[in-house]
Structures are given as structure tokens and as C-alpha cells.
Amino acid sequence: MEQNSNKNPSVKNGKDFTGYDQHILIKNYLKTHSLVESNIISFNDFIENRLQQIVHEVSDALPKEDIEIELGKIVVERPNIIEADGSKKAILPYEARLRNLTYSASITLEITIKKDGKKDFNTVEIGRIPIMVKSKFCNLDGMDREKLIENYNDPMDSGGYFIINGNERLLIMIEDLAPNLIFIEKIADKPTLRMFSSRGAYRIPLSIQEATDGIFKLSFSRFRNLPLIPMIKALGLVRDSDIMKYIGKEYDSVIVNLYEHASMQNVNDAMLAIAEKMGLEEGKREMLDKTKSRIDTYLLPHIGLKPEDREEKARTLCKLLKQFLIVTKEKKIMTDKDHYANKRIKLSGDLLSDLFRVNLTILIRDIQHKLQRIIKKKKMYSLKTLAKATMFAHRIESAIATGTWIGERTGVTQNMDKTNYLAKLSKLQMIVSMLPAEQQNFPARTLHPTHYGRFCPIETPEGTTIGLRKNLSILGRISTAIDIDGKKFVDELEKTGMKKAKS
């Protein structure tokens, strides 16, 4: 049977070609692509898009007090250094290595202070951020081979790392379960539906189980074993017929649960029942307010954090219960957590986004607190001085230098292994699982068919981390998330003939 030359990359003009010709192909590929391209693309996206998104998120979440702070445009400059005489000049990676400097760039942010109807607008430098070598914001960007050699840089250097105090540090890619996906598995021999609802800084675990008495239980955040049907009613889906419509399955267990809570005929009754299960013991109004606030913030935050999102959350809980019942009552196959469609890789942009979001929130709240104290004393203030007095730059630099990340994670960054070129590439392509190395977790350590072509089946250390520490294939690339306009997407689906379900 003849091979199709259009489909097989090792066929050229109907003839097989190997060896030298394939070497030329790879060489040409490397002229336009980096072997650590995924991390570099992720970092570029972090600087170009995510920084501004995080600024808007933090600005929207700020409390509206006497002194109101609004955040505007954020700008990252090119890597530079301020010399002892006060002059500022561009810096290249080789100089940062030789002089034990941090290869970083300054960040400026527009901050508006509102007080008593007056506005004070300033563009201030809030600190510095390390820049990834060979990224779009590196001073080596755009240099050809001759120019790189002229500036004392290895033209074969793939980049993808940071220079902190002259030391080369790389961010280890982290493997984790995909957020906002349903996982149905057995936990302590009980079928359990699990989901990690993720939105910005929030990553809230949610689970649904059927208790021994047949009542469906919901757990999220630190709230355990809340009755599911009262929660759905508290969110606005009060009528049993509506709940049955969205569940779409007339199982006996659903009818038993609806009958058990049939006395709840309005949202407040259901909300008070949930408040009681949460252990709140205040006045009726306070109990209702606290319960609503907790539900809005911690229940399915990826859907929304506002009261108008509650009914959508109720419909989603019905759909989750439907999936749980299909698997448990109809004996369908449980979720394969180790299938790589159910995993996500956190690249440099994801890890830095988490770090930047937390530190920007600390910075702005620190500025807000200092402003309140200064204005109470009726003193003059300089926003530029207040911003510089914070530890923003130090906290980010320290995290990359030590590998100690938010969420009490350690080992997120490591020193570059430069024994040889392949050792360096291997280190840059390393992916580490979030699972603890002390636990057995045999399925997670075993090779899975979906690893084929994505991971090296050999490159994993012996010992406790075997199978939990993997290496991406040399030519492997990781796709990054894309922003989709939900309304436009739904409109396109409707044009194809699909009909929008009536809520």
C-alpha cells in the first residue's frame, strides 16, 4: 500500500527520507521555534494579557470605603538596571550573570484615589518583575545568531528561565486535575462526584454523595454534608417540577429526596435550613445575609459571584446530580482521572499569575491602610513613595529565588542543570504532579495510553517520585487557554440549527 506523502512527514516526492534530511527539517524548525516554546508563550501571554486582567479583578474586589482606590493600565518595561550614580540602562542576561544581578523590569500602574468627591490620579512604579530569557520582553528578542554572539550569548540557548541574583532559576511545570470538570469516583467505597470550581484566585472543591439514608449531600469549601435539594431551593429553584425537569431522570431516590423536603415552599425557608446546617446561630436576618454571602462566594464561583447567578448555580447542581445518578444507578464507568484529557499543566504564566494576584492584593491593601492612617492625621502623602515602600518586588523575587510559592507549595522553582545541553533541556521540560510522593497512588505513577507522544516513558526518577515527575517529549508543545466570547459562540451554534434551552 502506498503512503500518502501529504500525511507522512518522512515522505518527500513519494520517497522516504531519513537521517540527514530529517536533521535538516528539525534544524529548520528550531530556527523559528524554541524547544521550550510552551513556557515562553505562556509567559508572553502573562505579561501581555493576564497582568491587566488581574489588575481589573483586584480593582473590582477592593472594598468601597472612605478612601476608594481604582486601578488602571499596567505597563512592564524592558529589563534594565539602575546604577550607583542613578542612571538607568538596559541590561542583557550575560551581564546579570556576571554581576550577580536580577534580570528584571520595572512595572508601572495607574492608581486613582477617590475621597470626598475628589480624584487624585497617579502613574506609579509599584516594583519590578523578573523577565524570562528569550521571551518577547527580553532584550535578546529579535537578535540574530551573529548579534547574540556579539553580545556574549549562546545562540543555542533555548531560554525559558529567569536570572535571580546571577543564579539561573526555572519554573517547574505542574500537573493537576482540570478545573470545572466532573469526576465521579469511589472514595472510601462510596461513589462521589467531585469538581474543582476555579475562578481567578478561587479554587473551591465541591462534592456530591448519597448518604446511607438516601439523602443527597453536598460539600463545598469548608461546609460539609449539606442537604442538596434544600440548597437547590435556596438558590431559587423552588418548584419540585422544575427540579425534576433539570435532573431529567425519575429515579426513586430523587422522588424520596423531594418528598423529604417538600415542606420548603420558598427561598427563605430553604436558606434558613442551610444556615442551620452551617452552624450559624444569630438573628434571622444575620443568618440569611451570612448564608447568602457564603453561597455567592464559595459555591461554584466559576459561574459567578453575584446574587443574579444563583439560579444558574441551581440548574448546574441539578445537572451535576443527573450525571452522578447516571453513573451510580445505571452502573456506568467511573471517571478515569489519569486520562490526560482530565489533566491540565500549569505553565509559567499560570504560576506567575497566582503569585502576582496575591502580591498585588497585598500591595494595594497596604497602600489603602497607610493612606487611611495618613489622612486621619491630616498629613500630606506621596503615592509614589507609598508604593515604593512596600515589599512587592522583594516577595516576587524571593518566591522565584527559593521556590516557595503561595498555597505553601515548595520546589516550584529549581536551579538550572547545565551539565550538558540535553540535561538543560530535560530540566526545562520537567512536569511534576501535585500528588504527595509519600502516598502510593499506583494508577497515577503508571504509564497511561494517553501519555503516548506527549511524555518520555523512560525519563522519570527512581524512588518516591517515580511516575509523579515526568518529562515532556522534546518536540512536545502545550496549548494555552483561549478566550471565547460566550455570547458569540452560542449565536454561532444557533445558526447551525441548535436551539437554546428555555430556563
141 within domain boundaries: yes
Mark whether 112 and 228 lie in a shared domain.
Answer: no
- Identify whether residues 207 and 296 lie together within a single domain: yes
Digit-coded pLDDT (tens) for 265-302: 889 889 988 988 888 777 788 888 889 999 999 999 99
Distance, in Å, from the CA atom of 301 to the CA atom of 175, rounded to the nearest integer, reads 22
Q: Does 451 reside within a domain? A: no
DSSP letters, 50-111, are IHHHHHHHHHHHS---SSEEEEEEEEE---EEE-TTS-EEE--HHHHHHTT---EEEEEEEE
Answer yes or no: is 79 within a domain: yes
Cβ partners under 8 Å of residue 343, min gap 6: 175, 176, 177, 178
Q: Is the residue at 338 inside a domain?
A: no
Residues 166, 299, single domain; the answer is no
* Confidence (pLDDT) at 341: 92
Q: Per the domain annotation, does 13 fall within a domain?
A: no
Answer yes or no: do 150 and 98 share one domain.
yes
For residue 373, which phi and psi values (nearest 5 degrees)? -65, -45
The residue-averaged pLDDT of 77-96 equals: 91
160 shares a domain with 232: no
Q: How confident is residue 7, by pLDDT bands cut at 50, 70 and 90?
A: very low
Whole-angstrom Cα distance, residue 178 to residue 253?
30
How far are the Cα atoms of 15, 192, 227, 230 from residue 216, in angstroms, in the given order?
A: 63, 11, 6, 10
* CA dist 274 → 229, 256, 268, 278, 399 (Å): 10, 19, 10, 6, 40
Do 194 and 323 lie in a common domain? yes
> What residue spans of 265-417 are helical by DSSP H?
267-278, 284-298, 310-329, 348-376, 383-388, 392-402
Task: Note whether 317 and 350 are same-domain residues.
Answer: no
Burial environment of residue 324 by CB neighbours within 10 A (0 to 12, 13 to 18, 19 or more): buried
Enter the C-alpha cell of residue 20.
540527514
Q: Quote the number of domains for the chain.
A: 2
Structural domain contains residue 31: no
Q: Are residues 304 and 195 in the same domain?
A: yes
Domain boundary among 395, 429, 463: 429
Segments forming the whole domain that contains residue 313: 183-329
Residue 503: predicted pLDDT: 54
Domain end: 429, 462, 481, which one? 429
Say yes or no: 321 and 396 in one domain: no
Each residue of 389-400: pLDDT tens digit?
Answer: 567 888 999 999
Higher per-residue confidence, 65 vs 37: 37
Percent of residues, the chain, with pLDDT higher than 70: 93
Instruction: Answer with the one of 412, 429, 446 that is the final residue of a domain.
Output: 429
Q: Give the model's pLDDT for residue 400.
A: 93
For residues 326-344, average pLDDT: 88
Mean pLDDT of 194-209: 89
Spell out the long-range contacts of 188-197 with Cβ–Cβ below 8 A and sequence spacing 24 or more.
191/324, 191/327, 191/328, 191/334, 193/320, 193/323, 193/324, 193/327, 195/320, 197/299, 197/300, 197/301, 197/302, 197/303
Residue 187 lies in a domain: yes
77 lies in the same domain as 121: yes
Same structural domain, 199 and 324: yes
Q: Is 387 exposed, middle or buried (0-12, 13-18, 19+ CB in 10 A)?
A: buried
Rg (CA), the chain: 27
Other C-beta atoms closer than 10 Å to the C-beta of 338 total 17
Quickly state the pLDDT bin for 3 (edges 50, 70, 90): very low
Kindly state whether residues 235 and 121 are assigned to the same domain.
no
Owner of C-alpha cell 499569575: 353
pLDDT given at position 469 = 92
User: Mean pLDDT throughout 350-368?
Assistant: 90
Distance between CA atoms of 297 and 148, rounded to whole angstroms? Answer: 50
Q: Is residue 498 part of a domain?
A: no
Reported confidence tier of residue 1, pLDDT bands at 50, 70, 90? very low
Q: Residue 66 pLDDT > 80, yes or no? A: no
Domain at 142, CATH number: 3.90.1100.10
Per-residue pLDDT reduced to its tens digit, 118-129: 888 888 888 899
- pLDDT per position as a tens digit, 410-459: 889 999 888 888 888 889 999 999 888 888 889 899 999 999 989 999 99
Q: CATH code at 275?
A: 3.90.1110.10
User: Span 473-502, mean pLDDT?
Assistant: 81
* Residue 434 near residue 175, CB atoms below 8 Å: yes
